[in-house]
Structure 1
Amino acid sequence: MKGALISGVAVVFVLSAAAICGALRADTVACADAVFTVSADSGEVAAAACDALVSARASLAECGIEPTRPISVSIVDAPSHPQFGVCLGYFDARNDCIEVADPKGYAALLPESDARRDLPVDVVFRGLIAHELAHALVAHNADQARIAPAGHEFIASVFEMTAYGEEAREALLAADPVRPKGSRDMVNPGIYALAPRVFANNAWQLFQGAEDGCAMIRDILGGQVSLPFK
């Protein structure tokens, strides 16, 4: 999590500092799912964001995770987290607002080592939207004091990987291999900071390898499981 650019997706909450999340862009639309309002520089990008949000919400709902209040989403050139600086996206818990980078900027924002550089930008966009929406719905459904940062990132990474689809997911898993069933020892903030794609791949494999991945996530939300896993 060091440096001017967060190489993964920005961390969970804005807990301090003045937030600018939610600044209006040229096109602001209410999605077909009335929970979401999207602001972007073009109607095309706003529509793509709405589609990604609806799809990600459906995936989260399969694990019983639903929004409890409206969420606004801004698609901007380069999101700037108040604490960590320029990033690909972040969720501001105080304002129920998500900022995600516009796909046109991914070539400049994604580090050279990030395997997502080789994916179509629309696929990366869907993953980023899903990641930040997962952060938002964790905040809606859990006592934030109970959920460690590793828990937030684990859940967000699972739904990010879900959003990529099988072909892109296989490419990411091949680029940064982890154990086929994942490792609980790797669900920790140190791995996320140093190797965010390894963290995400491991989260996916752990979720897939679990007898009931959704139950694992619900246990994290309910505080029955602490992270790093014990």
Structure 2
Amino acid sequence: MKNTGRILIASIGIVGASAAQGDQCADLGLVVSAPTDALETLICESASEAVELFERCNVPAFRPPLHIEVVDELPEGCLGVFHCGESRIDVLSPEHLETHRNPESAFAFLTAEDYFRSIVVHELAHAGFDTLNCPIESCIASDEYVAYNMQVMFLSPDQQAQFAAQGETGETVSRDQISAAILFMAPDLFVQRAWAHLQQREDPCGYIGLITDGDIILDRERYTGP
């Protein structure tokens, strides 16, 4: 179902104090574990912007309290992980992100900080989607469609244009071109198609709402390939 609630964000005074940062994250329903106050601030600010984006675009609010922890290591290929049913997100620090990110990925043009912020938003979208009921065996394609599109929508207009220029520009993308199989075999292709497909909708945020309401399910199969 759509998120119709409003999460109020309290204004913060002096940014430098760790207690103030903790209060800011608490107002968002978050508990953040980060090695520095600056990184905690970055997560809180990103989450605050994400909450406003999700409200505008019909992405459900996550269940508080949600714990976000900055870690030095994740399973290979992972830069951030939402642990389903555990209200917990792990994300690599910007420094470790630089050594693990794919230099040829669809997001390679972003700075480490901007990429880190977008990953936080991506995982928060997963946390919101986790509040929904999937009527079939798996809704992973729908879940990732929403999370990746929120990740790109979070970027600046110039960054969005740079991202879009790498994809299948000018080509109409159908729902048949978005699947769990593509997600696992070619994740960059999946996110590029997902963004192009959403931008071709007359009302992108309305389309996201149809997905989160359960009126549209992008999944047709559960991918169990290699």
Query: Which TM-score band (shorter chain)?
Result: 0.7 to 0.9
Describe the shift of the 1:166–1:145 C-alpha distance in structure 2 as closer, same or farther (beyond 3 A).
Answer: same
Partner of 1:143: 133
CA distance in 1, matches of 2:180, 2:194: 12
After TM superposition, list the pairs within 5 Å mapping 1:185-204 onto structure 2.
185-204=176-195
Question: How much does 1:166 deviate?
Answer: 1.6
CA distance in 1, matches of 2:106, 2:208: 26
Consecutive unaligned residues in structure 2, runs of 5 or more: 1-18, 221-226
Identify which of 6, 22, 33 aligns with 1:29. Answer: 22
Partner of 1:228: 219
Identify which of 37, 48, 58 aligns with 1:43. Answer: 37
CA distance in 2, matches of 1:127, 1:177: 22
TM-score, with structure 2 as normaliser: 0.78
Q: Any idea what the Cα deviations from partners look like across 1:201-224, whole Å, max 9, x if unmatched? A: 221222222122223222222322
Identify the range of structure 1 (216-225 vs 117-126) with the bigger mean alpha-carbon deviation. Answer: 216-225
Asked if the contact 1:150/1:189 (under 8 Å) is kept, the reply is yes
Identify which of 116, 119, 138 aligns with 1:125. Answer: 116
Q: How many residues align?
A: 200
Read off the aligned partner of 1:221 and give its amino acid letter. Answer: T
Asked if the contact 1:91/1:98 (under 8 Å) is kept, the reply is yes
Percent pairwise identity: 25
Question: How much does 1:192 deviate?
Answer: 1.4
Question: How much does 1:168 deviate?
Answer: 1.8
CA distance in 2, matches of 1:120, 1:171: 13
Question: How much does 1:45 deviate?
Answer: 0.8
Partner of 1:55: 49
TM-score, with structure 1 as normaliser: 0.77
Larger Rg computed on CA atoms: 2
Question: How much does 1:86 deviate?
Answer: 5.0
CA distance in 2, matches of 1:168, 1:204: 13
Consecutive unaligned residues in structure 1, runs of 5 or more: 1-26
